[in-house]
Amino acid sequence: ALEQLPLQKALRPAELRVFTETSEVLAEFDPARARGVEGLMIKDPRSEYKPGRRGREWLKLKRPLATLDVVVTAVEWGHGKRRDVLSDYTFAVRRSEDDPTLLNIGKAYSGLTDVEIAELTVWFKAHTLQSFGRVRLVEPKIVLEVAFDAIQPSARHKGGYALRFPRIVRLRQDKDPTEIDTLEAVEALAAKK
């Protein structure tokens, strides 16, 4: 039925695939990435479409593209229950192995525990270089591992790229800022899509 509609070339019906095993779903991620999509929509075939709503019958399933080790360059006061802590972290990579210039490529505010955020707030307050209202530039010493769903070009970030939906995987206390990833690593991941 839908196949008969005179759709514009930008639109095409999605292929329906039925899976009964988790391994079958997981095997679909790489082909989905090759088609340039971020993930899969998992739907109960008996469910109805409800505009603007998702529930247990329709799930968006994503797998991170990769992770990067980055350094925090700026922090911002949180909102709501996190309004009293510095919980939003802007992060950067090095320009290259030979050039330690830091280039911002994103901002994350999820993934750490409340205890970790409280401890980092104390550290960031003591290591603030400049304050601009809610934002503080900080000494680039805190290394994070961040996961993300995609990399896209960005005129907003000095690195020329931005991470889509970044989230903090963990603090990397075992790494020095001189060991963080480079812009070359970001470019290589962006080329993979």
**Which of 18, 37, 62 finishes a domain?**
62
pLDDT of residue 119: 96
**Which of 12, 31, 62 finishes a domain?**
62
**Which of 62, 78, 108 finishes a domain?**
62
Indicate the Cα dihedral angle 47, 28, 150, 64, nearest 10°: 90
Residues 101 and 172 in one domain: yes
Residues 17 and 85 in one domain: no
Residues 71 and 132 in one domain: yes
pTM: predicted TM-score of the whole model, two decimal places:
0.73
Q: For residue 137, give its domain range.
A: 66-192
Residues 106 and 56 in one domain: no
Q: pLDDT digits over 139-181, tens only?
A: 999 999 999 988 999 988 888 999 988 999 999 999 999 999 9
- The CATH number covering residue 123 comes to 2.40.50.140
Locate the DSSP E strands across the chain: 39-43, 58-62, 66-77, 86-94, 102-108, 128-132, 135-138, 143-148, 150-153, 161-164, 167-171
Cα–Cα dist 128/49, whole Å: 50
Q: pLDDT digits over 63-89, tens only?
A: 666 899 999 999 999 988 998 999 999
Residues 84 and 161 in one domain: yes
Higher pLDDT, 155 or 44: 155
Return the residue matching tokens 């082909």.
31
